[in-house]
Chains A and B, each alone.
Chain A
Amino acid sequence: MNQNAAKKTETSRQLIEVDNDIEAVNHLYRERRWGDGLPVIPPTRERVERMLGGTTRPADEVVAHVQPGFGAATVRLIAVNAVMAGCNPGCMPVLIAAIEAVTDPLFNLQGIQATTNAATAFLIVNGPIAAKLDMNSGLNCLGQGNWANATIGRALHLIMQNVGRALPGEMDRATQGQPGKFTFCCPENEADSPWTPLHVDRGFKPEQSAVTVVGASGTLNLLCHEKDAADLLRVLADSIRYPASNDYWCGGAPWVIIGPEHAEIFAAAGMDKETVRLGLWEQSKMKASRRSMRDLARTRDARTAELGEIGPDTLLPISPTPQDLGIIVAGGPGTHSVYIPTFGNTRSVTRQIKT
């Protein structure tokens, strides 16, 4: 499509004539199930070309094949979906890195896209690109209101659906799904964190940018007004421990987003990130008998090799090692942190964002 009345929309396989009218385009997209249920920006040739200006990668380069449909995510198709989501061209390097990350076998995109679980990809952005794109890592960083947070997360999920062909009710078998399947993205609040940023923990330089993807099943708010660091840690650990959890079933890799006020309490008590991570892991161990009998049997099948014989009194760790439990600092003022349970059979993956 361009400015004329009837133009063409290009996909990897076909050109389709459609009136250059936003309602007509959205009607077509609804019919073909190329959207997420919200209106999309028509990906005209001009808009897609402008979006491609956000990267130096060739338009026809295949970044990855996206499970479960194994569609080829070319740079051009990433740009098409970025336009649909409302992204600015500066988002392209983040999206390309995010596609590389979600298609890493460690992430288990096949499982996440096709499971009955609500799991989806949660994107964490680190490094200077977050400020460059005017992303929000502070108040309401997981909520509405920031253009880059919202559109980057939305574009990734459109690519996962349209290129990965994970249509709800077809290959996407989610029993209920979750709101994060529309968009789920925020940067780490590096400025207000007392600790090193996530991407530095994972071997990148502070001046580099990176995206980390997490196979997240949702969010759980953790309210605690405690000022004593040990008691705060105890309450957070106790709150992430629940019987109907994928993470306890197979030994997952869940995340805790520590609010800056909680992080400051830990830091003031001399606790670094590794101390908090180890404390959360140790104190969130759960008696195996809290799981249902059926689920306890499944846990035995999944974790006996890791933990040895599992009886009703066995204390199950939430993840095989403390290092599997992820921590970032994000959010604004307030006595809240957030728990991100995961699909369980997934590991977060970090990729450098190359601008």
Chain B
Amino acid sequence: MQKRQRQTLTIATTAFQVLARTQAKALGQPELPVAIIPHPLGPLSLKELHDIVDRQLDAMVKLVCEGNIK
């Protein structure tokens, strides 16, 4: 998406932070915005996930516009 000039955001938990950044670099997108949220997501219900999204949405929009923040 980023390569197609579409502003893109990747969301990863802390345990997958290295993966997200290394993979972005491997794909030629070292500046890809990556939002890091607490690990783990696995035990969370969909509602809990939606709550995280609701709480973090503004920060993520800002991240898409301005680059990496944590």
Contacts and interface: CB of A to CB of B under 8 A. Distances in A.
Q: Please say whether chains A and B are actual partners in one complex.
A: yes
Interface stretch (B1-9, B19-27, B51-59): B19-27
Query: Which of A114, A116, A165, A171: most chain B Cβ within 10 A?
Result: A171
Interface stretch (A149-157, A179-187, A294-302): A294-302
A169 B19 CA distance: 9
B26 A70 contact: yes
A309 to B, nearest CB: 15
Nearest to B18: A170
Interface string A291-319: 00011011001000000000000000000
Contacts of A165: 22, 26
B43 A298 contact: yes
Contact of B23 (A68, A294, A297): A68
Contact of A171 (B19, B42, B45): B19
B45 A173 contact: no
A124 to B, nearest CB: 28
Nearest to A295: B43
A171 B46 contact: no
Nearest to B46: A301
Contacts, number: 36
Interface residues of A, number: 16
Interface in B14-45: 15-16, 18-19, 22-23, 26-27, 42-43, 45
B16 A173 contact: yes
B45 A297 contact: yes
Given A171-B19, A173-B19, A69 B26 contact: yes
Nearest to A169: B18
Given A70-B27, A173-B16, 5 more contacts: A68-B19, A68-B22, A68-B26, A170-B22, A173-B15
Interface of A: 68-71, 114, 116, 165, 169-171, 173, 294-295, 297-298, 301
Closest 6 CB pairs of A and B: A69-B26, A294-B43, A297-B45, A171-B19, A68-B23, A114-B19
18 contacts: A68-B22, A68-B26, A69-B22, A69-B26, A70-B27, A114-B23, A165-B26, A170-B18, A170-B19, A171-B19, A171-B22, A171-B23, A173-B18, A295-B43, A297-B45, A298-B43, A301-B45, A301-B46
